[in-house]
Amino acid sequence: MIRGIRGATTVDENNEKLILEETEILLKEMIKENNLKAEQVASVLFSVTEDLTACFPAKAMRAVEGWKYVPVMCTREIPVPESLSLCVRVMMHVNTNTSQQEIKHVYLRNAVALRPDLAEIGKE
């Protein structure tokens, strides 16, 4: 079965180095918390708020050993007034037998505000 695993983080400014560093931290945490292997992942969708234009956050996937062949894509979030800024979101589509209730979604930094009910990892 394919399940979605969500993750999000924020950066302090529109800077390529910061975007890639924080995205890599997020990806590695999502992988660790859900005990994932690249072969399980059908695709990964990255989205950014409109204030992040310095780079494609999907480039951070290249820093994760063994994940070279996972299909990735980037898109822009809808610019909803008063929404969280400087935010990178990730949706992994994973082949797994894990139940929806057992999936560990990861929200870091200011992104914890997006889903405080699911952000147990970001609260630690």
- Active-site position among 50, 76, 102, 115: 115
Is the sign of the CA dihedral 115, 118, 122, 124 positive or negative?
A: positive
Told to judge if 77 belongs to the known catalytic residues of this protein, a careful annotator would answer: yes
- Active-site position among 22, 24, 55, 89: 89
- Active-site position among 3, 16, 33, 74: 74
- Active-site position among 13, 39, 50, 62: 62
- C-alpha distance from residue 87 to each of 17, 39, 108 (Å): 14, 27, 10
Told to judge if 89 belongs to the known catalytic residues of this protein, a careful annotator would answer: yes
- Active-site position among 16, 33, 77, 120: 77
Told to judge if 109 belongs to the known catalytic residues of this protein, a careful annotator would answer: no
Buried b (16+ CB within 10 A) or exposed e, 72-104: bebeebeeeeeebebbbbbebbbebebeeeebb
- Active-site position among 6, 24, 55, 109: 6
- Active-site position among 24, 29, 107, 109: 107
Residues tagged active-site? 6, 62, 74, 77, 89, 107, 115
